[in-house]
Structure 1
Amino acid sequence: MRFSRGVITIVIIVVVLAVGISVGLYHLLKRTPHLAEPVAAHCSVRALGSDLALDPEQAQIAATIAAVAARRKLPERAVVIAYATAIQESKLYNLDYGDRDSVGVFQQRESQGWGTKKQIMDPVYATNRFFAALVKVKNYRKIPLAEAAQAVQRSAGGYAYAPHEEQAKALAAAFTGRVPESVHCWYPSGGRTPAPAPRTEEARKQLARALGSTTITSRKRGWLVAAWSVAHAEKYGLSRVRYAGASWSNDLEAKGWRTGDGSGTGKVELS
């Protein structure tokens, strides 16, 4: 069957246009992946030259550990040891399973006297028990991290804690508030139904469980509270956290905190 030159020309034009449109769409979607597929809630920690990716549960656990340490007036080294231990034991998740009867962030065992399973599954309780044991370790601030962690955990492979030290140091610098503006999170909100009202009072009550008094007595403590609030933003429906002349908002396009749009009151403001 023969076709006229006109028909062949039209077919070629259609094919070229189809290819061109397909290539254009591919590059558009590649540049804006959030249009191609749903983006999950996520967090990032930028401190001490590290850029760490966490999911909200991991960020919440990290923030809780730092808050408990602050309540107990422990040094940052204790937080680093706790993070390295939790990363090895649970990857910073509150697991309801483990080896034998091990559960929770630190994989503590009811049969070994750490508490009931219900208690151990409470990250605030579990962290308090970890620190209570850690401070009894002689010279825990100066001895190698793996040695200090193993003295608390008494695990079969105590050497495994050491490789997590650098990551733990970055997390500790961020969540203790020593490095400001270092914790950023985002979660899906809005859509066809209006977002629920932020539960700011509930958030403050839960912070107080870990931190004790939520009064801001220093700039470092303020950034600890701000980091805790951002990490728990999805859980309590927070869309903005403001402190010390900077603000975090639940904006997918934002790269972090914005300066010049924060609270000048000395308080961490949630909304």
Structure 2
Amino acid sequence: MRFSHGVITIAIIVVVLAVGVSVGLYFLLKRAPDPLAVPEANCTVRTPEGARSLDPEQAQISATIAAVAARRKLPERAVVIAYATALQESKLYNVRYGDRDSVGVFQQRESQGWGAKKQLLDPVYATNKFFAALVKVKDYLKIPLAEAAQAVQRSAGGYAYAPHEEEAKLLAAAFTGRVPQAVHCWYPQDGTPAPRPRTAEARKQLGRALGSMAITTKKRGWLVAAWSVAHAEKYALSRVGYGGATWSNDLQLEGWQSGGKASDRRVELS
């Protein structure tokens, strides 16, 4: 059967239009947000100086560094130096690799006497070793941050620590507890039913870094609260309360909410 040129032309036009519409719909649907997509676990640190997004591991490392500093009764400047160093060395991750035998948050080397590899991969141990070296640096609280960090690290590029100072100050204000309600995290809860919170284990691990769990000041209370929120996914915590405010693992809520029975003497975990 032979078709006229007009019929063939119409058929071609129809096919081209169909293909065009199909391609257009494909890219439109591809760009549209998936209402069923579940975000990944994330944390936000917010202070008057600005905001910073972290993933849970970075938040946990940050909280641990602040807790160890509090146990050693070190000033916030020491925490800032530690954060700037960790941001440069590992981006606040507990990495198992590095230059030569460098490992961990601060990329410390077993061959340089920092400790065994297993110890250096323990953020509490690694942070204690960093601070033990830092406090031996003459005038470390007064000299430029990069000089203080370099005196500890003896890096090939000591100048690289300085650009992280402002970010380190923001993190220190939040995780030391100086700025209340500064740390907010969220993680997906897939379990049915949800896993039971491991509050006793959380307090035990915090105690390794912080020592005494006594809340002697509001600042210390907010440090404990920030540590708890940062570790919420790890210990299946869904609620942290302190100082008349409550953090909940609720995607619809932004930050801490006022109210609740949380006192200034104890951080409530559940």
TM-score calculated relative to the size of structure 2:
0.88
One-letter code aligned to 1:195 = A
Structure 2 residue 100 is matched with structure 1 residue 100:
yes
> What is the Cα deviation at residue 49 of structure 1?
2.3
The answer to whether the 8 A contact 1:29-1:36 is kept is no
Code of the aligned partner of 2:202: A
Pairing of 1:53-132 with structure 2 (within 5 A): 53-132=53-132
Structure 1 pair 253–160 and aligned structure 2 pair: CA distance change class (3 A): same
Consecutive unaligned residues of structure 2, counting only runs of 5 or more, are 4-17
Superposition RMSD in Å: 2.1
How many angstroms apart in 2 are the aligned matches of 1:265 and 1:75? 22
Where does residue 145 of structure 1 map in the other structure?
145
Q: Percent of aligned pairs with the same residue?
A: 74
Residues 222, 110 of structure 1: alpha-carbon distance in 2 compared, 3 angstrom cutoff: same
The CA deviation at 1:265 is: 5.6
Give the distance between the partners of 1:134 and 1:76, measured in 2 at CA.
Answer: 13
1:217 and 1:264 map into 2 onto residues whose CA distance is: 13
How far is the alpha carbon of 1:71 from its aligned partner?
A: 0.1
- State how far apart, in whole Å, the 2-side matches of 1:179 and 1:43 are: 16
Listed as ranges, the gaps of 5+ residues in structure 1 are 2-14
For residue 143 of structure 1, report the CA deviation from its aligned partner.
0.4
- Match of residue 216 from structure 1: 215
Q: Residues of 2 paired with 1:46 and 1:87: CA distance?
A: 18
Deviation at 1:262, TM superposition (A): 4.5
Deviations 1:70-121 (A, max 9, x none): 0000000000000000000000000000000000000000000000000000
For 1:160, the equivalent position in structure 2 comes to 160
Aligned to 2:38: 38
Letter in 1 for 2:247: W
Alpha-carbon deviation of 1:194? Answer: 1.1
| Inter-partner Cα distance in structure 2 for 1:116 and 1:260 | 47
> Which residue matches 1:267?
266
> What number of residue pairs does the alignment pair up?
250
- State the distance in 2 between where 1:110 and 1:269 align: 39
1:243 is aligned to 242
* Matching residue of 1:7: none
CA distance in 2, matches of 1:92, 1:159: 18
CA distances 1:222-251 after superposition (whole Å, capped 9, x unpaired): 000000000000000000000000000001
Which AA in structure 1 matches 2:158? G
Larger Rg: 2
Q: Distance in 2 between matches of 1:265 and 1:49?
A: 25
Kindly provide the amino acid, as one letter, of the partner of residue 113 in structure 2.
G
3-state SS of 1:236 partner: coil
The reply on whether 1:207 has 2:206 as its aligned counterpart is yes
Task: Provide the rounded CA distance (Å) in 2 between the counterparts of 1:143 and 1:234.
Answer: 38
Return the alpha-carbon distance in structure 2 between the equivalents of residues 196 and 176 of structure 1. Answer: 29
